Amino acid sequence: MVGVVDTPVLAELYRDLHRHPELSFQEHRTAAVVADHLGALGFETTTGVGGTGVVGVLRNGEGPTALLRADMDALPMQEKTGLPYASDVRGVDHLGHEVDVFHACGHDVHVTCLVGAARQLAEDRAAWAGTLITVFQPAEELGRGARAMIDDGLFERFGRPDVVLGQHVAPFPAGFLALRPGPAFAAADSVRITMFGKGGHGSRPETTVDPVVMAAATVMRLQTVVSREVAGTDTAVVTIGVLRAGTKENIIPDEAELLLSVRTFDPLVRERVLGAIERIVRAEAVASGATRYPEVVVFDGFPAVVNDVAACARTRPAFEALVGPDRVIDPGLVTGSEDVGLLASGSGAPCVFWLLGGADPACFAGITGVDDMAVAVAEQPSNHSPFYAPVIEPTLRIGVAALVSAAHTWLPSSPPDAV
């Protein structure tokens, strides 16, 4: 079922990456580690693509080209897993704030698995033909890394692939893979709202226009966007992740800032949601007596990941042979977002992007039904949780094998005209 993967070296690589997380566009150490591995395996290796990205190319005769992608960046948050290899790294984020740094989304798993897959494919060239492009991408958490690599000539410099392949670790049991054809991961928009009031002394609120109260009212009203302005048959998420205002308890500040994350699948729903956000924000400012309209800026965004239906149908049997048909599941629409789809649309290649189970299988003992599994998954620490910690085994072993088996599907050993 699952292929044999020599994991002790990979497990140590994973622990090393986990101990040394780096923020978006700061992945210098990670990139150097990756480049060393690729160079030792005989890949044509280029660093600094799109800032800190790494591209490895392995040519193995005539045939198609497959691109395998992993993202490298970590998140600005504190780790609370208590693991012996937990991160205690601190850094400065893209906004200039000093923050803790933690691989809370599993990108250390992604890098490790792609390094392992590169090794297997390099050491077994008799089993495939064509060109393998490995892309280690920066800044997925900002939604800017894929675009930065494309703008830096990714496809002009290294070739256009026939398929884009990749995976993302998730909190369902290790030993399972999840693949959904068609729209799979949501589009993401990051929104910055600045609300302008009139500051003053906390003892005399009647002389002010309080932006804190304005922002608080806005937070509550924004909850109605999804519940009252999006049809029940559509999907959208509006999350306020940051509310910043003031410096002292007895000073009413001049401004308040909100940072929002918006997730949608349908472009028309996206337009409706963003329009509702701006309308509500402006209305709350008027209701509060503000003399200046708020600023609403969409500062990062990327489209939904749409898996190619035919490409998924071609790849799925390899996954079923790997872990068993009953362990390749449809995860449904995933409201998390990924910029890997830009690599596919930017190259004109089909996308096949799947989820890799990373939770301890023991937590799912005795569970057989899909509904029961969904309940158990909800009880696990999720990506972006301070407690998120994929189990090393069998996650790495299956993650490597999934990438290798997908690559073999698109890089057959026979000459192209005999496939």
Residue 303 has a CB neighbour count (10 Å cut-off) of: 18
Whole-Å CA distances, 65 to 44, 69, 130, 399, 408: 15, 13, 6, 21, 11
Dist. CA 135–CA 93, nearest whole Å = 23
**Are the CB atoms for 120 and 402 separated by under 8 Å?**
no
Reported as type and span, the H/E element at residue 229 is helix 224-229
- The beta-strand segments (E) located in 110-212 are 130-137, 163-173, 177-178, 182-196, 200-201
Q: In one letter, which amino acid is 265?
A: F
CA atoms of 29 and 91, how far apart (whole Å)? 13
Q: How many CB atoms lie within 10 A of CB 375?
A: 10
Place of tokens 């044509």: 44
Angle between helix 28-40 and 8-19 (nearest 10): 160
- Tell me 127's DSSP state: G
**Cα angle value 58/63/67 (rounded, 5°):** 50
Q: Yes or no: say if 55 and 153 are a contact pair by the CB < 8 Å rule.
A: no
Residue closest to 10 by CA, chosen among 418, 349, 334, 397: 397
Q: Are 154 and 49 in contact (CB under 8 A)?
A: yes
Closest residue by Cα to residue 88 from 98, 100, 73: 100
The token pair that represents 389 in the structure block: 């910690």
Whether the CB-CB separation of 81 and 389 falls below 8 Å is answered with yes
Which residues are annotated binding-site positions? 105, 107, 141, 168
Q: 406 and 368 in contact (C-beta within 8 Å)? A: no
How many other C-beta atoms are found inside a 10 Å radius of the C-beta of residue 27?
28
- Active-site residues: which are they? 73, 140
Angstrom distances, CA of residue 343 to CA of 5, 69, 115, 348, 375: 28, 9, 19, 8, 33
